[in-house]
Amino acid sequence: MNNSDKIKQAAEILSKAKRIVGFTGAGTSAESGIPPFRGEGGIWNKYDPNSLDIDFYYSHTKDSWRIIREVFYNFFSNKEIKPNPGHEVLAKWEKEGRLSAVITQNIDDLHTVAGNKTVYEFHGNMARFVCTHCGKKFTAKEIQLTENPPRCEDCGGLLKPDFIFFGEGIPENAYYGSINAAENCDAFIIIGTSGQVSPANMIPGIAKRNGAKIIEINMEPSTYTNYITDLYLEGKSGEILPAIDTLIKWC
């Protein structure tokens, strides 16, 4: 079956679905110009991942912040990073009342910028900072991101980006929200993820065990493809999702 036939089949599955969940990984963001962390061209080929260890951030704050600022904030400020057509289709489907949630492993906030309201950020969000002392949260735009590690304007405590460092647990609301969404959907779309990062990689299996049809859109086969995927479409989500959308006739 070629991709054209598979796109038609995906549209048929989704047209009948009442509760669709999207599950996105680095490949989704890569289409917007954000490099992945792992694999060819990945960020960790250039930087030591230990710089994002939570203990290292507390014990070597200045060294850790220098790398974080360069990787996450200087890079983004120098590029026009915006949602791609794949993000926009997922937001459209939520607005139309068919997509119940997006579960994302990405920290770039692009799903929210695109218009999605229910987004479970499994690994947090770089667009926010949290005070490690008093817990107050700030948007990145509210903070002067200088060479010095940022401090809380209320208590003077050290701020940290509100994404998950190595050594930190998954936020409870994202963890349990993702499980609930997977348990209660009838169509689950895996988009741009290899399925190698735990514990996020267990979420599609929950959907499968609860009877959801699994559609996968990836540039190459993942750990899910021959295991739980019902329909595999090879290619970019920014091209495939809009193509599916043009064929959908909601039941």
The token pair at 115 is 């218009």
| Residue located via tokens 């791609």 | 84
Of 60, 87, 111, 123, which one is the catalytic site residue?
A: 123
Distance from C-alpha of 248 to C-alpha of 250, rounded to nearest angstrom: 6
Q: Is 133 a catalytic residue?
A: no
The token pair at 171 is 């936020």
Which residues belong to the active site?
Answer: 123
